Amino acid sequence: KSTIMHLLLGFLRPDTGGVRVLGTSDLARVNGRVGYLPERLRYHLRFSAREYLRFLGAFDDLRGADLRRRVDSELAAVGLSEAADRTLATFSRGMLQRVGIAQALLHDPELLLIDEPTGGLDVAGQAEMLKLLGELRQRGCSVLLTTHYLDEIEQVCDRVGVLFAGRMVAEASVDTLLTSSGVLRITLADMPLELAKQLAQSWPHVLVDGRTLSVEQNTPQTQAQLLRTLLDAQVQILSLVPQHSALEDFYSRAIGGEDVRPLPAPDEQQDNSSDPRTQTDAQFAPPGHPDTLSAGYRDAVPELGQPQEEQQQTL
C-alpha cells in the first residue's frame, strides 16, 4: 500500500505502466495540489504545534500573514487550537496524527493521500480521526486512504479497492456493497414441514438447517420478503444475526480470485478494451474527480526511506 502512495507522489518510478494524478502523468506539476500523510511521520518534538506547522508551511511557499492564517485555520480544523503552543513532546499519538493531517492540508490540496490513518491509535483516537476524515468531504477534498480495517471503510469511504499481491483485484461503491449485507442467520422456535418445503422451492439462496436459516444474498428487499413469509407462517423468530459484513464478504471473495466486479457508476463507464494498460495496471478512480489514478508495477518495490526534510521539500 505504501508503495502505491510513493508511486503516486513520484517518490518511486513504476517498473511498467504509468501513473496519472489529477489528469496528468507529470507528477511534478501536481505536487502542490496533493497532500500526504505517511503511516509514520517524524515530528520535531521540541517544536510547538504552531511552530512545526509554520516551519513546514515555509516549504509550500507560504509567508507572513498568509502562513499564520493557514496554520491557525488548520489547527482549528483538526481541533488543536487550544494545544497549539504546547510542545509536540507532550502530545498523545492521536494528537500527533491530527497534526499530521493539518500539515497535509496546509496548502489546501485537491487530493489527500493518507497511509493507515488510525494505525497505533486507541479507540477514542480512532473515533476522532474517522470523524475528522468525514469532515474533509465538506472541503471538497478527495481522499485516498489505505487501511486494513474494513469498518473504517464503511464509515468514511465512497469507494473501496482491494489490493492483493501487488494488484488492485476489485473495486466497488461502498453504498452498492452495503445494500447487500452479507450472510444473515435466522433462528426460529420451530420449523413446520410446509414452511421448510416452501423455502426450499421458492428461496434458492436460503439454506435450511433444522430451525436455522442462512440467507446468502441478504439485501433489504430479501429481508423484507423473507420476514413477511415467516410472519405469514406464524413462526416465532428467536434471533437474526449477521454472520459477516458485505465488505468482509467482498474482500474475502476478491482475494480468493472470484469475479466480484460490480456494475460501474454511469459516469465511470468507459471502453478501455483497446488500451493494453487496462489489462495489466491497477486503477482507482477517487470520488469526486473524473480522472483516474493508475499505477502498474511488476514486482514489489522496496519502500523508499527518504529523510523527512527531503519529503517535505518534494511536497
For residue 39, what pLDDT is reported?
A: 86
CA distances from 140 to 47, 111, 289 (A): 30, 9, 10
Q: Are residues 16 and 75 in the same domain?
A: yes
Q: Are residues 191 and 70 in the same domain?
A: no
Q: Are residues 100 and 228 in the same domain?
A: no
Q: Are residues 199 and 252 in the same domain?
A: no
Instruction: Please tell me the distance from the alpha carbon of residue 23 to that of residue 289, in angstroms, as a whole number.
Output: 9
Q: Are residues 50 and 72 in the same domain?
A: yes
The model's pLDDT over 32-57, given as tens digits with 9 standing for 90+, comes to 899 999 988 888 899 999 999 999 99
Number of Cβ within a 10 Å radius of residue 224: 10
CATH number of the domain within which 78 lies: 3.40.50.300
Instruction: Please tell me the distance from the alpha carbon of residue 94 to that of residue 3, in angstroms, as a whole number.
Output: 24
Q: Are residues 236 and 263 in the same domain?
A: no
| Contact present, 19 and 25 (Cβ < 8 Å) | yes
Angle formed by the axes of helices 64-77 and 93-105, nearest 10°: 140
243, 272, 292: which is the final residue of a domain? 243
Q: Are residues 189 and 170 in the same domain?
A: no
CA distances from 293 to 21, 139, 144, 172, 289 (A): 5, 21, 10, 15, 10
Q: Are residues 238 and 253 in the same domain?
A: no
Look up the pTM and report it. Answer: 0.64
Q: Are residues 254 and 109 in the same domain?
A: yes
Q: Are residues 39 and 139 in the same domain?
A: yes
For residue 261, what pLDDT is reported?
A: 58
The model's pLDDT over 130-147, given as tens digits with 9 standing for 90+, comes to 888 888 877 888 999 988
228, 243, 258: which is the final residue of a domain? 243
For residue 34, what pLDDT is reported?
A: 93
- Beta strand 184-188 with 206-209 is unpaired
For residue 197, what pLDDT is reported?
A: 87
223, 243, 263: which is the final residue of a domain? 243
Q: Are residues 134 and 163 in the same domain?
A: yes
Give the count of domains, the chain. 2
DSSP for 195-218, written as a single string: HHHHHHHH-TTEEEETTEEEESS-
* Segments forming the whole domain that contains residue 265: 2-177+248-314
For residue 118, what pLDDT is reported?
A: 86
Burial class of residue 53 (count of CB atoms within 10 Å of its CB; 0-12, 13-18, 19+): buried
Q: Which residues of the chain have pLDDT under 70?
A: 178-182, 217-218, 243-246, 259-315
Q: Are residues 106 and 147 in the same domain?
A: yes
